[in-house]
Structure 1
Amino acid sequence: MEKKFRSYRKARILAPVVAAMAALSLAACEGSPGAGAAGAGEDGGKSSIRLVVAPIHFETAYIAEQQGYFDEAGLDVEIVTGADPAANLAMAVSGEADITTGSWISVATSASKGVPVTVISGNGIVDPETANSGILVNPDSGLKTIADLKGKTIGVVGVKTGSDIPVLQAIEDAGLKVEDIKEVAIPYSGMQAAIEQKTVDAVVPADTFYHQMIDAGYTSIANPVLDYQANMPVTVWTATKEWVAANPGTAEKFNDAMEKAAEFYSDKANIDEVKALTAEVNQVDVSQVDAGNYVPVSVAVNTTTGQAGIDAMEHFGLVKDPITAEELLWDKAPRTSK
């Protein structure tokens, strides 16, 4: 059963929402709006949910809507376009959303600091065979290796937030110290302009933004994400522990729908439909959608690679007392160790 998307809107990510991250633990302890009534259903959960998707790896959610997988699961899902990982997580904790797209590293960092959130299933993972991210420089910069970046400035999507961990690992393995290189925060959408204007010496874009810059002629001198995080969970479906406790049946139905969506997405026979979906959501012509940019997805969370990411966070001082990958997962979350 195929249908057009229900109308969706951009989430209003205002400064107060982002600032709310500082008070996430308190907000979660006090209870998010509607959480108490959410478990009224006979199957252990409500049937209507608000789902936040990120600017990347959103296809599976829209597939579940378009192909009727949410309907088959008995779920009425409103899909809302979110923003950065911190803002998306804040929406779930504040009760503005039920399930949100989280970054594995960002969620692990928040949970280690006491924010009561949990991962209910996985989504996008690091492709173990193809580079979808890299350190890019101007082709005439003279920069050829990581070692050449000593004393230089790199634009990353988040400084010491976890997303830059592979870059830090590459820096260390090149014989440099982390402090030998200056990191500045630049959104993916602004990275090409930043390097064109030479406000930075290198940038680290991902997914579509990476491939667009490669096509524009920028040079990749390293692919740290591929080198250090192959098969690691990237985007994960996340909720508060309170919400999952009140809605276990809903979470399981959601995961069932996402399993079907992941299978559809991964089937090469459906690539034209997936590309059309991406074009519709991004409001571009389908000719601008490159199927080579799609990353693998896995509803089952890889606890081995996920734990490696958490260990690296501890190594670089992003967390002092980290939780384990198992502790980060909901007890009914699908998982794998391979």
Structure 2
Amino acid sequence: MKKIKGALALLAVLSLAGCGAGSPSSGTAESSPEGTSGSGAATALEKVEVGVIPIVDVAPIYLGVKEGIFEKEGLDVKLTLAQGGAAIVPAIMSEQMDFGFSNVTSMIVARSKSLPLKMVAPGGSSTGDTKADFASVMTKPDSGIKEIKDLVGKKVAVNTLNNISDSTISEAVKLAGGDYKKVHFVEMGFPDMTAQLAAGNVDAMAAVEPFVTISEADGNVPIFSNYAEPVDDLTVAVYFTSDDYIKKNPETAAKFARAMTESQKFADENPEKAKAVLPDYTSLEPEVIEKLTMPRYYTEVNEASIEKIAEISLDRGLIEKIPDLTALLPSK
């Protein structure tokens, strides 16, 4: 238990944006160097750089690199840890990176602002279980908050205002019959939430793993998962690139999409192996990793869930109009 709580101190330097935690310091992890052909001659691999965030959602891409899935497609992947999705988008637009990772709300908002970004593969998805998901709204056991509509009039910590957490929570409150406009959201980094909850500065916190597990170790209790409810089978995050990159590099984009999809499938079928790569890019203790609830790693983006997130984003004023989702969603 002490080691689980101690992990909070290790993670205190993390900063969050989009749907995930930032890293203690930016870094890279690369796939194996050049492969060899059957005759023993060196076969040059095409180098691609991918911006990721050090959270459990991106375990499949690390696992895919480790298992040689990307190398099989002829790709030498450089994984660059970013402070958050806000740093990855401009890197893609300026061609400093080839692919990136982001939550779906940020993608919808970006496309609505005429940024030519396109999803190429799914990232993490909700488990669909409101009691056992990798995201959860947590509170103190004596807070008096027992169900979703009890959040009305309360202060709820979210890592980013006007994004996936507050919009999904407000929608859940609305569907539960509560006045979602009276939920007060407070922006702060995930690592700060448990302390602020303990101090009484907020009444609840919208956390993702590993902060759900860490918060539970401190005695806090879950109310519901805002990723499992109110949107069914929510695709939470995706890998993306720019329209221009796809136009210039169609074969590379297709290779990356295939390798990423295979990596997702492998991780979903081998959750313990997915957990085993977490120490490669996070500072999580083994005791924390063992207790984590991992996302589902599906091979397709759930288009219905993206449409619902777009509708919620429009209703909450995050966007002025729903963008062309066909242009945003992965090509079929």
Fold match (TM-score > 0.5): yes
Aligned to 1:134, what secondary structure does the other structure show? strand
Q: State the Cα distance separating 1:324 from its structure 2 match.
A: 4.2
Q: How does 1:134-145 map to 2 (within 5 A)?
A: 134-145=136-147
Instruction: Assess if the C-alpha contact under 8 Å between 1:112 and 1:322 holds in 2.
Output: yes
Q: Which residue of 2 aligns with 1:85?
A: 85
Instruction: Assess if the C-alpha contact under 8 Å between 1:172 and 1:178 holds in 2.
Output: yes
Q: State the Cα distance separating 1:145 from its structure 2 match.
A: 3.0
Aligned to 1:83, what secondary structure does the other structure show? coil
Q: Deviations over 1:22-73 (max 9, x none)?
A: xxxxxxxxxxxxxxxxxxxxxxxx9211101122211111112111112111
Q: Which residue of 1 aligns with 2:134?
A: 132
Q: Deviations over 1:101-147 (max 9, x none)?
A: 01111101110111111111111111113322222111122232333
Q: Structure 1 CA distance, aligned partners of 2:145 and 2:193?
A: 17
Q: Which residue of 1 aligns with 2:205?
A: 203
Give the AA of the match of 2:306: G
Q: Which residue of 1 aligns with 2:50?
A: 51
**Which stretch has the larger CA shift, 309-318 or 146-155?**
146-155
Aligned equivalent of 1:166, options 152, 168, 171: 168
Instruction: Assess if the C-alpha contact under 8 Å between 1:105 and 1:163 holds in 2.
Output: no
Q: Which residue of 2 aligns with 1:39?
A: none
Aligned to 2:229, what secondary structure does the other structure show? helix
Q: Which residue of 2 aligns with 1:265?
A: 267
Q: Structure 1 CA distance, aligned partners of 2:151 and 2:275?
A: 37
Structure 1's 81 and 196: CA in aligned 2 closer, same or farther, altered over 3 A? same
Q: How does 1:136-285 map to 2 (within 5 A)?
A: 136-268=138-270, 271-285=271-285
Aligned to 1:126, what secondary structure does the other structure show? coil
Instruction: Assess if the C-alpha contact under 8 Å between 2:313 and 2:319 holds in 1.
Output: yes
**Which stretch has the larger CA shift, 69-78 or 284-293?**
284-293
Gaps of 5+ in 1: 1-12, 19-45, 333-338
Aligned to 2:211, what secondary structure does the other structure show? helix
Give the AA of the match of 1:135: V
The structure with more strand, counted as a fraction of residues = 2
Structure 1's 198 and 98: CA in aligned 2 closer, same or farther, altered over 3 A? same
Instruction: Assess if the C-alpha contact under 8 Å between 2:303 and 2:329 holds in 1.
Output: no
Give the AA of the match of 1:252: A
TM-score, normalised with respect to structure 1: 0.79
Structure 1's 273 and 189: CA in aligned 2 closer, same or farther, altered over 3 A? same
TM-score, normalised with respect to structure 2: 0.80
Gaps of 5+ in 2: 1-13, 19-44
Structure 1's 273 and 297: CA in aligned 2 closer, same or farther, altered over 3 A? closer
Q: State the Cα distance separating 1:330 from its structure 2 match.
A: 4.0
Structure 1's 318 and 61: CA in aligned 2 closer, same or farther, altered over 3 A? same
**Which stretch has the larger CA shift, 51-60 or 144-153?**
144-153
Aligned residues: 288
Aligned to 2:165, what secondary structure does the other structure show? coil
Aligned to 1:245, what secondary structure does the other structure show? helix
Structure 1's 171 and 272: CA in aligned 2 closer, same or farther, altered over 3 A? closer
Instruction: Assess if the C-alpha contact under 8 Å between 1:244 and 1:251 holds in 2.
Output: yes
Q: Deviations over 1:151-200 (max 9, x none)?
A: 32111122122332221112223433333121111121221111122221
Q: Structure 2 CA distance, aligned partners of 1:322 and 1:272?
A: 38
Q: How does 1:304-315 map to 2 (within 5 A)?
A: 304-315=304-315
